[in-house]
Every structure is written in C-alpha cells, then in structure tokens.
Amino acid sequence: SALLCMIWCFFDGWMQSGTSSQYALPNLFFEPSLQQAAWAVAWTGLITTAMNRVIETTALGKVTSAEASVILATEPLFA
C-alpha cells in the first residue's frame, strides 16, 4: 500500500490543474519557494525513517527473540 500511495503522490501533481496542484509532491521540488520544505520531507522520509528501519531490523536479528520482544514492547515508553 505504501507503493501505491507513493505513485499516487507523484501523479497527483501532474494530473490536476489549478492552484491546488502547486502543493502536490512533484511541484514542491520545482517551486523555488517550496524547495527547502520538499528536501526536508525527502530527508525525513528517506534517511531518518528508512535508514532507521534497516538498522533496527539488522540489530534485532542479532538478539534473541525474547530480548527483541522486550525491546519492541517497551519502545512506546521511549518514543
């Protein structure tokens, strides 16, 4: 479902016309006044979220299942 949402976000800006398409995902990177926000969103999505998931999955693969379940169960306490 994440792939479908990503495809929808990219095509939403090219299919719509009018003022609302200015804030669609593709136009955020081309509009000079919105580029900083677009790169901040891209950084947050790609680096901090995706990289965190890769590191967490790798690290949890190296501990026992009992330790992993305790780590995942107590994760909301630290968030």
Predicted TM-score of the model (pTM): 0.50
Residue range 10-58, pLDDT digits in tens: 666 555 555 555 566 667 777 788 788 888 888 888 888 888 889 989 9
CA atoms within 13 A on the CB side of 22: 7
- Within the chain, where are the H helices? 2-15, 25-30, 35-43, 52-60, 65-78
Which residues 6+ apart lie within 8 Å of 33 measured at CB? none
Q: What is the pLDDT of residues 53-78, one digit of tens each?
A: 899 899 999 999 999 999 989 988 98
pLDDT number for residue 58? 94
Specify the pLDDT at position 73: 93
